Structure 1
Amino acid sequence: MNNAAKKIISHDDYIAQGHTPMMAQYHAVKDEHPDCLLFYRMGDFYEMFFEDAVIASKILDLTLTKRGKTEGTDIPMCGVPFHAAEGYIARLIRAGQKVAICDQIETPEQAKQRGGYKALVRREVVRIITAGTLIEDNLLDSKTNNYLAAYVDMNGQAGIAFADVSTGEFLLQSLHSTEAKSALQRLNPSEIICKSAQDFSDDLNAISSVQPSGFFDSASGILKLENLFGISEEELSKNFSRAEIAAAGALLHYVDETQKGQIPYLSAPKRIENFKTVDFDPSTFRSLELIKTQTGDRQGSLIDLLDIAQTGAGSRMIQSRLLSPLRDVAEINRRHDEIESLIAAFDLTRNIRAILKMVPDMERALARLSLNRGGPRDMASIRDGLHYASLIRAALIEKGLSSSPLMRCCDLLHLTDRQHEYKERLTAGLSESLPYLMRDGGFIAAGFCPNLDKVRSLKSETHNHIAALQTKYVQDTGIESLKITHNNVLGFFIEVPAKRADAMMVKSGNTDNPFIHRQTMSNGVRFTTPDLSNLEREIALSADKAQAIEENYYNEFRDQAMALADDISRVARGLASIDVATSMATLAVDKSYTRPKIDDSDAFDIQGGRHPVVEQALVKKHTRFAPNNSNLSGAERLWLLTGPNMAGKSTFLRQNALIAIMAQAGFYVPATSAHIGIVDKVFSRVGASDDLARGHSTFMIEMVETAAILQNATSKSLVILDEIGRGTATFDGLSIAWATLEYLHNTIQCRGLFATHYHELTQLKSQLPHLACYTMDVKDWKDEIIFLHTVKAGTADRSYGIHVAKLAGLPETVLDRAEDVLRLLEDSKARGGSGAVAGLPLFTTPSAPPKPKISAVEQRLSEINPDSLTPREALDILYSLKSL
């Protein structure tokens, strides 16, 4: 990692300072990885010392103990069992730590052979685990990509490299440095390699890994890309910017360091073309709650609703498409065609989804194998994935869909002859019950290798071989109580009662006696024989031979997988693609979504539009969502929306932005019909938020976000603005909202929805020809206000703010006082006065609290004359009151 600032002290230097050999070794390793928690292997435990132990014990809730002293001070220590280390590592990574795994690279016996009985076992860091380099299933979320990013800024021109080490995806992007934050937020990396932690640490939920400038060199980047992918310098320079190449080189350098020279399988780098996808800034990303809510939860977000994929790869692709909607009409329509075909053949869709439910995650299995951290189950994942891909492709062909819009999926799912051969070899070679790790053995199927079967038979028939020897020795000695048994100290041995042992002892000059004395116990004597020793040696060798044979097959299968890696990755993409298409078809049928019409026009006509997430929440409450129309096409491209809070303005604003994004992502949409001309950027400024940590008020954030919209929106953009100017004084806010609305209409000329409480803005209708006024419909009913949650042409006649306050539970005295003040202000305004506020008394007698309503019990009691009641009548009345 980044060690430029610290001088490395050698092991011998630490010995000279008085440290024990073990602690000297620890310090020397730790000095090379100062920014990591060092998991130092000690027998069956990983142990941590000094500050690492203090940090880890707090995060993992471990007991902090001590091991020895240094300079008279106790050395803090804690540890975790090595066989359960992954769970602890996961918690440390989630807490923002990096973990260096320092393993023993030789056995104690090998150490003694090398340097005598005092020799220290050699240890090395074999891997550095960071948030962006995870490959283990239990450390990852199967539904989301885990991107590692590298960022470099070259005089305002930024380059970003993204890699998901767990799937092999490798992306490069070139853009202006001011757009970098938005690009990073879109793919949401877990870790960012950069020159300065201040670049993004305050804005993104990612670990910043600061590296020296030498990491970010385009010349070394070219060499790394040439060596890894065989791409020439000329081709790289033609297709990628210097900043992209420098970022890619930094990322590959970092992966090489953390994986200790083992580069995982990565596909050749692809460029993210900015002009091909819809842009949305961080504010829009947050306000629309695409992948997480304002509170940071996935539940309640749009992706939580849309993701009904059957596979992890399918889930990741749905999220990728949602966060990168397209501007390419043909490609969008191709995705819609796929969904339409699968809706038309919905029985087939159900069958395919049933198959997909059994499909493993081939991408991540391949990544683990590429780093030699996989196992037999990963090979089975590839075998099964190829098998199910063949089944799905055959089903599509049988239904006649191989030449339909699903032809691309069929092509991706096609297995080459070599893939078929590999699949069949794995099917024949792997046993039904597979261990997690290769070293556990037993994963090669019986009958696949005769030599292995022969070796295994000796081990499996150990009992028979031992029983046969025991029978022979009982017959030879006549000792019926003779037994052959086993322990971990002596191995196999013969045991007889002490009183019968003399007959088995070797007499002087007797060379025919095969029994060799091993141990005398209080009630028995133990022997061995040359035959028993040879059998034990053969059994031990058979286990080693079996492991060696299985290891050879494992390496062969792994090498074949890596030789086919590109084709396996292609098939995995095909499975993800058909999973997305069948999921979106199922969603469209289940939730009555419709196919949008997408073209290059300026249309934006949504009929019967619904907010997908709010609609789903209401379904759970058995309540119907009120659909609304919006038509920003032609003469009414900009809507000014008025109406009270709680009437559904924010929901209406957001649903139109979400429908646009879903449509251009290639999904069906929650509407009766939708016609959308391509949107190049979506801007949504809905809801207020403070950034107090950086001294930014709600109003400052509002102005910064509004400025970004006005500076970056184009005539092809969709702009959603809610309550501009509400964070400051009334006239200031009105002025800003007024000017903003004019700028959107006259200068940018985009499609947009502008919600406001400033009713004065409706006067602009007569001055701005493409502005239309709409309001949220409200109904007065028996002195109550009913919000209909529907949009209609016109303007709001009043704000209904006091009614909302009443619904919120403000005290009656406060509400009555508010009504008094409102009437006085409205009367003053009607007379053209301006001193109404000044004329309000500072202290006003509060309105008398309302008389409490008389209950039924009190009403009945008031009608009773107790003096005229008999005891029986009084008792009857008492029972009748109790029932009220």
Structure 2
Amino acid sequence: MSSLQPIHALSLDSVQQQAFIKYFNSLPEKPLTTVRIFDRNDYYSVHGVDAHTAAREVFSSISNIKKMGIEPNKLDYLVLSKGNFEILIKKLLLVRRYRVEIYVAEGSVKNSDWSLKYKGSPGCLSQLEEVLGEGLGASEENSPCLMAVNIKTDAVSKGRLLGVACIVAGDYQMSVVEFTDDDLLTELETITVQMAPSECLVPQTENDDYKALKQVMARAGVTITKLKKGEFSTEGLHQDLTRLLKFKENQQQDANAFPETRKENAMSSLAAAIKYNSLLNDSTNFGRFRISTIQADCFLHLDAAALSALNVFPELGDSSHTPSRSLYGLLDRCRTQQGKRLLAQWLRQPLRDIYLINERLEIVELLVNSSQLRLQLHEDHLRRIPDLQALARRLTRKKANLHDCYRIYQAIKRLPSLLQCLAEANNATVHSSLSEPISELNDDLDKFQQMIETTMDMDAVDRGDYLVKPSFDDLLQNLSKQLEQLQSSAERELNKAAKDLGMDAGKIIKLEYNPQAGYHFRVTLKEEQALRGNKKYTIIDAVKGGVRFKTSKLEDITEEYTQTKSSYEKEQDKVVTEIVGIAAGYSECLFCLSHILSRLDVLVAFSVATSSAPYPYCKPVFTESLNELVLKDVRHPCLEVQEGISYIPNDVTFKRGSCVMHIVTGANMGGKSTWMRSCGVAVLMAHAGCFVPASEAIVPKLRALAARVGAADREDKGQSTFMLEMIESAAILRTATPDSLVLVDELGRGTSTYEGCGIAWAIAEELATKSQCFCLFATHYHELTRLPSLHPGVIVNSHAEASVVDQQLILLHKISPGPATNSLGLHVAKLADLPDSIIEYAEAKQAQLETNLFEVEAAVKSQEVGDGQKLIQDFLKKCKEIQKSTASDDAMMNEIGKLKQNLLLNNNKYVQSLIS
């Protein structure tokens, strides 16, 4: 806990404080989402509003804030230790998605001569790697992705032409796409979900298209950074790309050789991203990047609302990854960091290619059925694999050391036993997709392994030191001999001191070495009296562990040993630089190996999640046909692992010709939303290549999964619950097609009952008849249960069962055919301990307001309802004609009375129930 304690105040006198305040106030204005930090060598300081932000993030309190200067120009400030600083940086960039500026003193920190040395933003962390090393982003689920978007008017279609570019610097990957989009930018939202950028660059403008873009990024939790329009210029881009891109052997060294460069608008976005990421400032980036086209249609389309509704990922800042909190937390049984990143990518990009999905499912099935193979991979092989992607990047950037090289060596050394383990599976898919590529890379990395074995001192590794073999270099060998001789001299001094003091060398009196005290002797506290008054020995300290002391001769040996060791380390650094330079040539192989091992890791994680589930999962069956979607005994995978939960499974059945939409009614807390979510989660898991929590699953190849579930205001974005519902509903109506699954829950709240009901009715009818998508539509508007009679063979009613026994509500959490008989809202209110007086008054009001139309319609057959409604329409038309044609009210009422008698002669139960 000590690292979280604030440290001392700034040691500046009043003149220095006033000078700093003057400098600080002269800095350009900045948004509140940018935090300025000042590096004061041993610690850091944050000032003004930023001090309050930092105090809340690090200490959850502003009590540590101090003031500097004199009234009326006092300035708040907070001092941070290095540990506090690292905590703050991670929270600001990775959780809050803020920007950071770090100022470094030019000369003495007591002067007010500062310069902006480092900048960091959610999508651009490269500069801060120098400050924080591997501490930033190394353990995150995904490498930071920077997106840039430029919107132009398409000269041909007059629509919006979007140019999108993404850069993942950690993977040396550029990807671009160009497309026309609607006014809600629904296609851009799909791409944003798939690519998961941390930051989006846009030109400075306030037109309607960029306002819509801002809403898309807000829903996806992406920070927007506005740049001058000139930053989106493609001038000089061809030359920059030619330096950055990796070309194949014998390929012309010209960026125009890549078809992506013909997408002019996308290239303008890429130019902005390259400049913002300062890629050309680091020569290690040259010849490393790959460029590709974003293939959004290869993956199941998800929007931000669907990700949120289905709890696919934990909330930002939630690092617990509890299985019951998110689908990612449930499936994350990965043993490697690269596996965790790939799992997140697979959940954002579920596949649509049935062959690729079945390839994943086949391997998962093999691992589920072979517990020995699964356990060997999960408990032994994969847990020993380091983050090869991060290590390869360190090699590329010449930031690696001997320890990094040894970790890579260990991973390579394990590959033969891993391949032997996979060979025992005796499966063609495992061989072609995993074993064969790993085997090829193992052959390519054989020389790396030989180099490490030739150059590294493996005996020193056992002691925790990572050193070059002395025999590798003549000068190193001479220096090593000198060190050994000095060690021997120190041991001779030990024997002399032991003889002089009458103690056993190595038992009672021991020789030790550390960088601070050098060579010294140590005896226990009870032997300390033998040293008293003996001028040959100088006591260093006496602590619980014993008394440490030395002689003048031992001090001379230490001095000579320190100098020799320093020379050895300098000479070794030259050799290490050479080794790292050679090792960097293998970084491409290591990136490839990392990708394949991460794939294996995720598939093993899927099998572990399947095998450890409380109830069996099943292998989904995929069909090209869109005729049916069937999930039998489907469960919610996150809820069923909660303690004390006995989950009740339910079926979901869609079949064209009989049902493409379920109107779902029933009591609050009856299980409607959970049923819908379990359906959505199962479909997403199936497309990702994972088994699903059901006894049987038949899933068609879907194009999109959309959801409008849950209610939440966005006051900071100026959006009410109702406004948010309408935005999400509009997006669903634009994109829903017969190969979509749509989940809609409680649509129409936040406005009047009749308006809400009308909107819900219209949207449900549109989705069922025009979009013809598979849809679960939960509602408390019982009027919607009439829709099946209007659209037989398309819409059906389903309800969450509940019973009232002795005035007590019992929720059965079972979904059954047909509409709910009543909403049971008052019974739920009783469960929530609403006062009895309120319940009684509500019951009385309900009796006054209720038309009982729902009960009337539920009591008669749907055919009679339809016929009765036609009879009533005819009756009302004739009444209107009588009103126009009769002179007196009495005559009019007589004629209407006769019409009413004729109406009752039809013996229609619906009409009779209404009139009675």
The TM-score bracket by the shorter chain reads: 0.7 to 0.9
State the distance in 2 between where 1:219 and 1:184 align.
27
Give the 5 Å matches for 1:614-763.
614-617=639-642, 620-763=643-786
Q: Does 1:284 pair with 2:306?
A: yes
Supply the AA of the counterpart residue of 2:199: E
State the distance in 1 between where 2:698 and 2:297 align.
22
Determine helix, strand or coil for the equivalent of 1:817.
Answer: helix
Q: Which residue of 1 aligns with 2:145?
A: 148
Q: Which residue of 1 aligns with 2:162?
A: 158
**Which residue, out of 195, 217, 234, partners 1:218?**
234
Determine helix, strand or coil for the equivalent of 1:154.
Answer: strand
State the distance in 2 between where 1:807 and 1:374 align.
62
Give the conservation status (yes or no) of the 8 Å contact 1:334–1:405. no
Shift of 1:448: 4.9
Deviates more, 1:574-583 or 1:587-596: 587-596
Shift of 1:350: 0.9
Determine helix, strand or coil for the equivalent of 1:269.
Answer: strand
Give the conservation status (yes or no) of the 8 Å contact 2:39–2:45. yes
Shift of 1:607: 1.1
TM-score by length of 1: 0.74
State the distance in 1 between where 2:847 and 2:102 align.
73
Supply the AA of the counterpart residue of 2:378: R
CA deviations on 1:123-156 (whole Å, 9 max, x unpaired) are: 9877544433445443326251032313121313
Give the conservation status (yes or no) of the 8 Å contact 2:708–2:743. yes
Q: Which residue of 2 aligns with 1:479?
A: none
Give the 5 Å matches for 1:495-574.
542-574=564-596
Cα 1:816–1:639 shift into 2, 3 Å: same
Determine helix, strand or coil for the equivalent of 1:810.
Answer: coil
Cα 1:544–1:66 shift into 2, 3 Å: farther
Determine helix, strand or coil for the equivalent of 2:612.
Answer: helix
Give the conservation status (yes or no) of the 8 Å contact 1:654–1:684. no
Cα 1:395–1:795 shift into 2, 3 Å: same
CA deviations on 1:350-390 (whole Å, 9 max, x unpaired) are: 10112111211111122233334443333233223323333
Q: Which residue of 2 aligns with 1:90?
A: 90
State the distance in 2 between where 1:81 and 1:802 align.
56
Give the conservation status (yes or no) of the 8 Å contact 2:99–2:121. yes
Give the conservation status (yes or no) of the 8 Å contact 1:147–1:187. no
Q: Which residue of 2 aligns with 1:385?
A: 411
Give the conservation status (yes or no) of the 8 Å contact 1:433–1:443. no
Give the conservation status (yes or no) of the 8 Å contact 1:48–1:78. yes
Give 1 or 2 for the bigger CA radius of gyration: 1
State the distance in 2 between where 1:541 and 1:258 align.
40
State the distance in 2 between where 1:629 and 1:583 align.
27
Q: Which residue of 1 aligns with 2:872?
A: none
Give the 5 Å matches for 1:445-464.
445=469, 448-449=472-473, 451-459=475-483, 461-462=485-486, 464=488
Supply the AA of the counterpart residue of 2:237: G
Cα 1:239–1:608 shift into 2, 3 Å: farther
CA deviations on 1:273-295 (whole Å, 9 max, x unpaired) are: 01111112222222111113699
Q: Which residue of 2 aligns with 1:860?
A: none
State the distance in 1 between where 2:764 and 2:68 align.
70
State the distance in 2 between where 1:736 and 1:608 align.
32
Give the conservation status (yes or no) of the 8 Å contact 1:632–1:639. no
CA deviations on 1:763-800 (whole Å, 9 max, x unpaired) are: 22233132122222233444433222122221211111
Q: Which residue of 2 aligns with 1:227?
A: 243
Q: Which residue of 2 aligns with 1:205?
A: 221
Q: Which residue of 2 aligns with 1:131?
A: 122
Q: Does 1:365 pair with 2:381?
A: no
Shift of 1:601: 0.8
Shift of 1:581: 1.1
State the distance in 2 between where 1:335 and 1:781 align.
49
State the distance in 2 between where 1:92 and 1:350 align.
39
**Which residue, out of 417, 422, 425, partners 2:451?**
425
Q: Which runs of 5+ in 1 are unaligned?
A: 1-17, 109-119, 473-485, 493-499, 501-527, 833-884
Q: Which residue of 2 aligns with 1:247?
A: 269
State the distance in 2 between where 1:778 and 1:745 align.
27
Supply the AA of the counterpart residue of 1:337: E
Supply the AA of the counterpart residue of 1:357: R
Determine helix, strand or coil for the equivalent of 1:161.
Answer: strand
Give the conservation status (yes or no) of the 8 Å contact 2:798–2:817. yes
Give aligned pairs, total.
Answer: 757
Supply the AA of the counterpart residue of 2:720: S
Q: Which residue of 1 aligns with 2:886?
A: none
State the distance in 2 between where 1:102 and 1:553 align.
35
State the distance in 2 between where 1:470 and 1:346 align.
57
Cα 1:82–1:755 shift into 2, 3 Å: closer
Supply the AA of the counterpart residue of 1:157: L
State the distance in 2 between where 1:431 and 1:330 align.
49
Shift of 1:722: 1.8
Cα 1:188–1:150 shift into 2, 3 Å: closer
Q: Does 1:818 pair with 2:822?
A: no
TM-score by length of 2: 0.71
Supply the AA of the counterpart residue of 1:594: C
Supply the AA of the counterpart residue of 2:201: I
State the distance in 1 between where 2:514 and 2:601 align.
55
Shift of 1:66: 9.4
State the distance in 2 between where 1:288 and 1:277 align.
17
Supply the AA of the counterpart residue of 1:332: I
Determine helix, strand or coil for the equivalent of 1:357.
Answer: helix
Q: Which residue of 1 aligns with 2:809?
A: 785
Cα 1:663–1:406 shift into 2, 3 Å: farther
Q: Which residue of 1 aligns with 2:368?
A: 343
State the distance in 1 between where 2:308 and 2:658 align.
31
Deviates more, 1:411-420 or 1:282-291: 411-420
Q: Which residue of 1 aligns with 2:351?
A: 326
Shift of 1:570: 0.7
Supply the AA of the counterpart residue of 1:654: R
Q: Which residue of 1 aligns with 2:378?
A: 353
Give the conservation status (yes or no) of the 8 Å contact 1:126–1:260. no
State the distance in 2 between where 1:280 and 1:691 align.
21
Deviates more, 1:211-220 or 1:604-613: 211-220
Cα 1:255–1:778 shift into 2, 3 Å: same
Cα 1:795–1:461 shift into 2, 3 Å: same
Determine helix, strand or coil for the equivalent of 2:662.
Answer: strand
Determine helix, strand or coil for the equivalent of 1:636.
Answer: coil
Supply the AA of the counterpart residue of 1:443: L
Cα 1:293–1:45 shift into 2, 3 Å: closer
Q: Which residue of 1 aligns with 2:436?
A: 411
Shift of 1:708: 1.3
State the distance in 2 between where 1:257 and 1:267 align.
10
Cα 1:441–1:23 shift into 2, 3 Å: farther
Cα 1:40–1:593 shift into 2, 3 Å: same
Give the conservation status (yes or no) of the 8 Å contact 2:149–2:200. no
Cα 1:52–1:737 shift into 2, 3 Å: closer
State the distance in 2 between where 1:789 and 1:467 align.
78
State the distance in 2 between where 1:778 and 1:677 align.
32
Cα 1:684–1:68 shift into 2, 3 Å: closer
Give the conservation status (yes or no) of the 8 Å contact 1:338–1:581. yes
